[in-house]
Structure 1
Amino acid sequence: MLQSRRTVPALAICALAVGIHMPAIAADGVSDDLVKIGVLNDQSGIYADMAGSGSTIAARMAVEDFGGKVLGKPIEIVAGDHQNKPDVGAGVVGRWIDQEKVDTIVDLPTSSVMLAVQEIGRQKNRLVIASTGGSSDFTGKFCSPVGIHWTYDTYGLAVGTGQPLASRGPWYFLTADYAFGHALERDTADAVVKAGGKVAGGVRHPQGNHDFSSFLLQAQSSGAKIIGIANSGADTVNAIKQAHEFGITQTGVQLAGLYLHITDIHAIGLEQAQGLLMTQAFYWDLNDETRAWSKRFYERHKAMPTMGQAGVYSSIVHYLKAIEAAGTDEAQAVAKKMKELPVNDFFAKNGRVREDGRMVHDLYVFEVKKPSESREPWDYLKLVRTIPGDQAFRPLAEGGCPLVKTGTN
């Protein structure tokens, strides 16, 4: 999730505003005799369901399953609410690093916050592992030696949902007017055009919008056959519900929810969500491993995990394995090990972290079930296809990451 393009340079200012202080890091072993992980996300706003307290629960589960210690030192989880504001997020992270000695920051929905924190991590030598922030620019022009993108990005979402629907008619985008929305529209429009489709236009709305009537009517009057909903969280839920209320879907116009979570389907309901395609990095009912972990998560959270929450767990376990392998918690040494070690867990099989920081793994395209097809609560999706990781994410040479020295994928 992002801010308008003209505000991107301000992200560096947000990062610098918290002050640049390079802390002393032990060459070997654990600095400060403690590994402290900060879960930064939206705890009370439009992204609280897809991240929020659920991500904190997933992080604590990861630490518990790892044994509570790494290199003989304890692991601690702290959580913070960035309120979807880059300056608030930068302030929290600055305090965490300078005063509370936090070693790495994870989760990070709202791409403008994610990119601001990326700059702080670069300046202060702290790992930033994004799970729910989506802009593909994180591993593109804003890539960092200590920035890792774990779960999905706007390029992968575009490949999964945009390409299959490209030929069904002209597209019109209903886009959140901030960084994530812009990136999602851009990447999806590119995917649609490359697949032979056409884009009729688009309209942008403010984040946290409640009334989508005028935007939906503009989309309908454009003559488009596909309305690409390039927003997230409560905005997506409201837009889809209102499109049904206004009878837009009954006219033959199809909605394409470009960024959906299982919690969104739960909020919308199968009656209105049925038939939607959605691209996911994880689904609780995918196999025995995902079901087993998700059942444990559900017992604590009383909701099935989103792909971002599952990604938080997976990324932290991999981070701790990398500390163990590196023999230190120094950020660049750990990032190097994270890129060397394969990712094999319930979340991803044969995953790998590329030199630009992108964790490459399979993505899945699901169709939302009809109410009659659902067997139990949270049984919402059926698998349409699996996208191999090397096709799901942007080729390494095309992202514009300054760290990339080769043209390989």
Structure 2
Amino acid sequence: MRKTFLTSLAVLLASGTAFAQSASDGKVKIGILNDQSGVYADFGGKSSVEAAKMAIEDYGGKVLGVPVELVNADHQNKPDIASNIARQWYDTEQVDAIMDLTTSSVGLAVQALSKDKKKITINTGAATVDLTGKACTPYGFHWAYDTHALAVGTGGAMVKQGGDSWFFLTADYAFGYSLEQQTSDYVKANGGTVLGSVRHPLSSQDFSSFLLQAQSSGAKVIGLANAGLDTANSIKQAAEFGIVQGGQKLAALLFTLAEVHGLGLEAAQGLTLTEGYYWNLDDKSREFGKKFFARTNKMPNMVHAGTYSAVTHYLKAVEKAGSDDADAVAKAMREMPVDDFFGRGGTVAANGRMIHDMYLLQVKKPDESKEPWDYYTVLATIPGKDAYLDPNKAGCELVK
């Protein structure tokens, strides 16, 4: 009997499922943690919460026969607040996974905490490549986009159009640094030069001094290594200084449909940008876009669509693993392909990077738009293998 017991125990341990083949506490609980009141509220915000709800509902509201619950909170773009919320969710509210995590400093902090707690994180709103590079973890995943994909897309397009000298207006935290660095490297690798940069605080209201430095640099392209309302305000104030009229171009390195809508086609027309999803791309994209619009009165951007995809993939992984144990789920997430309206033919690399196609887009002129939210012309599809860093070169210790 003793021998039989030990043999059975060894089999269970080897399979990584020593716990029961079910949710460990009678439910599966997901948290959406993002900016819901600040500079990135439109970028992800409550709309990401709604996208997560849609994914859970479309999955049937249950996995492994137990209910899927959703909680959400506003981290106010502060890593300490985000970490405190995440710790409380894990320690007292039985949250199994946290997603969105808009703001790279927040994403890095919560991913590090989640490693210690053995919990899954899927960053759909944060951008820095460090999430799947030097800061990678066995339980951390990066879904919708990253700074390398933006540099290859928008940066590459501007260089090809003759924009071979750059000056950066950069948000003063991890995301901005990463986006500036990735784009600078790409510009230089393609024969361009970087004439300088200036950093501004998150949620700035006055960009005049920063824009004047960019203007006086004489750079052909002013790279806006910021996002959300910071990018929109940069563009508005650049118009007041006549920067584009003076011959310089603006590169909105992280700009999505939500911000284009807020800025309006008159002001945004002609901007080149990169997203991982566009609602009017094809029938599959339009189907999700219209369902989302019916609930939110707005069309989704890549963060909202990416959150839906991430929640769905997580639930599929729980089902495949037969458990909500983080090790088993993380293994299943890497093994399964991602083939939905967002991550078409997508794969999850060993470092947690979900590799999928990105789209180079140009904002239409007002008279080119045929219907509400018809804002983009698709210039090119960027294959995932070109958009994202080779996992072997990302600096992640998980990649052997």
TM-score clears 0.5: yes
Secondary structure of residue in 1 paired with 2:267 = helix
1:20: which partner in 2?
Answer: none
Q: How large is the Cα RMSD of the aligned pairs?
A: 1.1
Which residue pairs with 1:387 in the alignment?
382
How far apart in 2 are the matches of 1:330 and 1:308? 26
Q: Hey, what's the Cα distance between the residues in 1 that align with 2:196 and 2:36?
A: 34
SS of the residue 2:98 aligns to: strand
Q: Write the distance in 2 (CA, Å) between the matches of 1:331 and 1:382.
A: 41
Return the match for 1:95 from 88, 94, 97: 88
Shift of 1:28: 2.5
The match for 2:8 is none
User: How far did 1:29 drift?
Assistant: 1.1
Deviations 1:145-195 (A, max 9, x none): 000000000011000011121242310000000010000000000011111
TM-score normalised by L of structure 2: 0.94
Shift of 1:287: 0.6
CA distance in 2 between partners of 1:332 and 1:384 (Å): 40
Q: Which residue in 2 is equivalent to 1:106?
A: 99
Q: Which moved more, 1:161-170 or 1:253-262?
A: 161-170
In structure 1, what is the Cα distance between the partners aligned to 2:164 and 2:187?
10
1:260 to 2:255 alignment: yes
Deviation string 1:92-142 (CA, Å, 9 cap, x unpaired) is 000000000000000000110100001111000000000010001000000
1:261-306 deviations in Å (ceiling 9; x for gaps): 1011111111121111100100111110110111111111111111
1:132 aligns with 2:122: no
Question: Can you give the 5+ residue segments of structure 2 that lack an aligned partner in the other structure?
Answer: 1-16
Match of 2:270 in 1: 275
Q: Return the letter of the residue paired with 2:143.
A: W
Between the aligned partners of 2:372 and 2:136, the Cα distance in structure 1 is: 40
Alignment of 1:176-215 (within 5 A): 176-215=171-210
Q: Deviations over 1:186-243 (max 9, x none)?
A: 0000011111111111100000001111110100100101000000111000000111
Query: What amino acid does structure 2 have at the position aligned with 1:312?
Result: T
Shift of 1:246: 1.4
Q: Per-residue CA shift, 1:298-318, capped at 9, x if unaligned? A: 111111111001000001101
In the alignment, structure 1 segments of 5+ residues that lack a partner are 1-23
Give the match for residue 145 of structure 2.
Answer: 152
The one of 304, 326, 329 equivalent to 1:331 is 326
The aligned amino acid for 1:277 is T
Structure 1 position 72 matched with structure 2 position 72: no
CA deviations on 1:25-82 (whole Å, 9 max, x unpaired) are 9352101110000000001111110111000000000000000000101000100110
Instruction: Give secondary structure in 2 for the equivalent of 1:163.
Output: helix
Give the AA of the match of 1:237: A
Which residue of structure 1 lines up, in the alignment, with residue 35 of structure 2?
Answer: 42
Q: Distance in 2 between matches of 1:158 and 1:80?
A: 30
Aligned-partner Cα distance in 1 for 2:365–2:381: 21
- Determine if the alignment matches structure 1 residue 362 to structure 2 residue 357: yes
For residues 124 and 279 of structure 2, what CA distance do their matches in structure 1 show?
A: 17
Check conservation: 2:125, 2:144, Cα contact below 8 A.
yes
Counterpart check, 1:222 vs 2:220: no
Measure the CA separation in 2 of the matches of 1:321 and 1:222: 51
The amino acid of 2:139's aligned partner reads V
8 Å CA contact 2:275–2:361 kept in 1: the answer is yes
**Equivalent position amino acid for 1:185 in 2:** E
For 1:88, what is the secondary structure of its paired residue?
Answer: helix
- Aligned partners of 2:178 and 2:44: how far apart in 1? 20
Correspondence for 2:53: 60
Rounded Cα–Cα distance in structure 2 between residues aligned with 1:64 and 1:232: 30
Count of aligned positions: 382
Alpha-carbon distance in structure 2 between the residues aligned to 1:110 and 1:87:
12
Match in the other structure for 1:3: none
Structure of greater Rg: 2
Distance of 2:276 and 2:19 partners within structure 1: 36
SS where residue 251 of structure 1 aligns?
coil
| Distance change in 2, residues 1:33/1:164 (3 Å) | same
Match for residue 340 of structure 1? 335
Partner of 1:33: helix, strand, or coil? coil
2:18 is the alignment partner of 1:32: no
* CA–CA distance in structure 2, aligned partners of residues 27 and 39 of structure 1: 27
Say whether the 8 Å CA contact 2:164–2:187 is kept in structure 1: no
**SS of residue matched to 1:102:** coil
Aligned counterparts of 1:124 and 1:382: Cα–Cα separation in 2:
44
Separation of aligned partners in 1, 2:266 and 2:250: 14
Contact 2:33 2:74 survives alignment (8 Å): yes
Please name the residue that 2:281 is paired with. 286
Distance 1:130 1:101 in 2: 19
Counterpart residue identity of residue 392, structure 1? A
Residue 27 of structure 2 aligns to which amino acid in structure 1?
Answer: L
Tell me the distance in 2 between the aligned counterparts of 1:212 and 1:94.
36
Moved over 3 A (4+): 24-27
CA distance in structure 1 between the partners assigned to 2:29 and 2:187 by the alignment: 42
Partner Cα distance (2:339, 2:350) in 1: 18
Distance across 2 between alignment mates of 1:358 and 1:169? 30
Aligned residues: percent identity? Answer: 55
Q: Provide the C-alpha distance between the structure 1 equivalents of 2:327 and 2:234, rounded to a whole number of angstroms.
A: 42
CA distance in 1, matches of 2:313, 2:23: 17
